[in-house]
Structure 1
């Protein structure tokens, strides 16, 4: 097939800045991207996979939490992205969640969030930068470990919320040195991975590009009616041979 088409959700306010960077990463991975924002058409049938991008906090109304005064919310985007995640799973299409998107992946599957994650994980290093200045440990025997390896990873961080209870069918794929969840993934097809950091800013790093390549590989597998996780595993083996 030609390059798989990936729908990418962004903020209406600032998405014009970040979408070109996400689209570049998707292109380098062998796909092509189209931008979605709340209030415009976002048809799951048109795409082979989706990326739920970063941005504002997710409203606690979606998971029964309590609103903190520092939260910055976008209810229209919340509704769009929750619908898209559920529709993607219903149509067996792969999902990559980036920062807020990782949290939305968890919430859409019935999980909850820590709104003040650093208030809970006081031993976690609090950084606010697009530079890779935070260390995470990849969990063994996970999809993320297969894609990016088990070696501790240097990442960036632009978040205040984090996963609390896991959504249905998810497992933890990475934690920071203070124990805070930094990545989650779906156990079975369709392929789904959520990372708390912003790999699109780290496109110069092979392990970060591999995250986008895994999504595009899964999208191609779905289009060609093959197992998504199996195809991702097979490609990783080919790259590392």
Structure 2
């Protein structure tokens, strides 16, 4: 059987250098990616899984917030990715959200964001680096903990926004030391996890590769009409 095909959304500005890293992780996990950018065709019916990649900020127009002057927006990308997430969940296609993608997963499911996350979570250390310097605590009894374990992880950080109110069927899977949400996950099929960091840059770490492997396994299960995740357990707090 051919490798599961994963649609990967990227920024028009930086996707040319990010997509190869995502593709590497997918190859290591047994999948294959196809790059999607706003303004070009992107059909969820043609793939087995979906990755919403990092990059631009999400417009507060999508969740009724007020624009801050520092935001860097791409409304066309916002529209494409929101559509893709909604279609993926309708068609039982598994989703992985990376940084912006975690935020888009939350917004597409009816949640909202902190636009100035570090202004709200003043105890969270503000890193801006692809190096694994930020400490993240994975919550027990979550899907993410089944993949990575519950030992604290050191990850990179390239974000100014973060999840505020959770979207439907989502729960918190990780927080940083200041309490800011660092990962969210869906409670039922299809599989969907969003992480606030960039695991594609950390391909040398087996716990980060396990996130991509879980997506590819869910895509394979969907292709074979099998359950992607087990029945929901007690939600983590």
TM-score, normalised by the number of residues in structure 1: 0.95
SS of 1:171 mapped into structure 2: strand
Aligned to 1:27: 27
1:99, distance to aligned residue in structure 2 (A):
0.1
Render the CA deviation track for 1:89-143: whole Å, top value 9, x for unaligned: 0000000000000000000000000000000000001000000001011011000
Segments of structure 1 that go 5 or more residues without pairing to the other structure are 232-241
Aligned to 1:161: 161
Aligned to 1:93: 93
Aligned to 1:198: 198
SS of 1:226 mapped into structure 2: coil
What CA distance in whole angstroms lies between the structure 2 residues aligned with 1:91 and 1:9?
18
What CA distance in whole angstroms lies between the structure 1 residues aligned with 2:56 and 2:180?
19
SS of 1:8 mapped into structure 2: strand
1:2, distance to aligned residue in structure 2 (A):
1.6
User: How many residue pairs are counted as aligned between the two chains?
Assistant: 231
The yes-or-no answer on 1:133 pairing with 2:133 is yes
1:13, distance to aligned residue in structure 2 (A):
1.6
Aligned to 2:40: 40
1:14, distance to aligned residue in structure 2 (A):
1.4
Aligned to 1:110: 110
What CA distance in whole angstroms lies between the structure 1 residues aligned with 2:142 and 2:199?
18
Residues 46-61 of structure 1 mapped to structure 2, 5 A cutoff: 46-61=46-61
Task: Give the structure with the larger helix fraction.
Answer: 1
Runs of 4 or more above 4 Å deviation: none
Aligned to 2:235: none
What CA distance in whole angstroms lies between the structure 2 residues aligned with 1:147 and 1:189?
17
Segments of structure 2 that go 5 or more residues without pairing to the other structure are 232-237
1:230, distance to aligned residue in structure 2 (A):
3.7
SS of 2:111 mapped into structure 1: coil
The yes-or-no answer on 1:73 pairing with 2:73 is yes
What CA distance in whole angstroms lies between the structure 2 residues aligned with 1:224 and 1:79?
30
Q: CA RMSD in A?
A: 0.9
